[in-house]
Amino acid sequence: MHSSLLHKAQSKYFSKTKELIEGTAIILADFSENYTCIMQDAIQSIHWKKGQVTIHPFLAYVKDTANDRLKPIPMCVISDHLVHDTARFWAFQKVIVQDLIKEVQQIKCIKYFSDGSSAQYKNFKNFINLCHHEKDRGVKAEWYFFASCHGKGACDGIGGTIKHMATKVIFQ
């Protein structure tokens, strides 16, 4: 049963991606695991008091009309607020949509794809946000859900890259 649902969600995503038209964006969204902040030359007691940050990667696809291809636009929000809930996602979404509209002015509709996590995306608060998306964000929106899983999507790759780059900079 789970395999069938996953297959249907992925099929919907691939069909929406293939039929993407100018003025529409697809946004993949998924919280990464929190990043534990480290210091290269920290004293021993810091080991027990490492801070964390929330990393929420997004991957937008828009139609590049110049060469008739999909243009990927990776984005990420990093926050010291550690709760992964609908309110936090709403705040992150606000920033991402504003930045996307600045980069691609002709966006009229956003099609979101995320996992079905009830704490973050698939709940009544987020559905209310979706109903008000056009009024709040200036563009229409639709939402599609994948089966909940970690470590398998493009957002997980973006989150992992951000964490790797942060650690690499610290140890240089």
pLDDT tens profile 112-141: 999 888 888 889 999 999 999 999 999 999
Q: CA–CA separation, 30 vs 114, rounded Å?
A: 6
**Count of domains observed in the chain:** 1
Please report whether residue 10 resides in a domain: no
75, β-bridge pairs: 58
Tokens 């990420």 found at: 76
Please report whether residue 13 resides in a domain: no
Phi, psi dihedral angles at 142 (to 5 degrees): -130, 160
Domain of 68, CATH number, reads: 3.30.420
Q: What global pTM score does this model have?
A: 0.83
Please report whether residue 2 resides in a domain: no
DSSP state of 70: E
Q: Which range marks the domain in which residue 159 is found?
A: 22-41+50-171
Q: CA–CA separation, 144 vs 130, rounded Å?
A: 11
Distances (CA, A) of 45 to 16, 48, 67, 71: 51, 6, 55, 46
Please report whether residue 135 resides in a domain: yes
pLDDT digits (tens, 9 = 90+) for 37-94: 877 776 666 666 778 999 999 999 999 888 888 999 999 999 999 999 999 999 999 9
Query: Exposure of 80 by Cβ count < 10 A (0-12 exposed, 13-18 middle, 19+ buried)?
Result: exposed
DSSP 3-state assignment of 126?
Answer: helix
Please report whether residue 73 resides in a domain: yes
Greatest extent of the chain over all pairs of C-alpha atoms, in Å: 55
How many other C-beta atoms are found inside a 10 Å radius of the C-beta of residue 16?
16
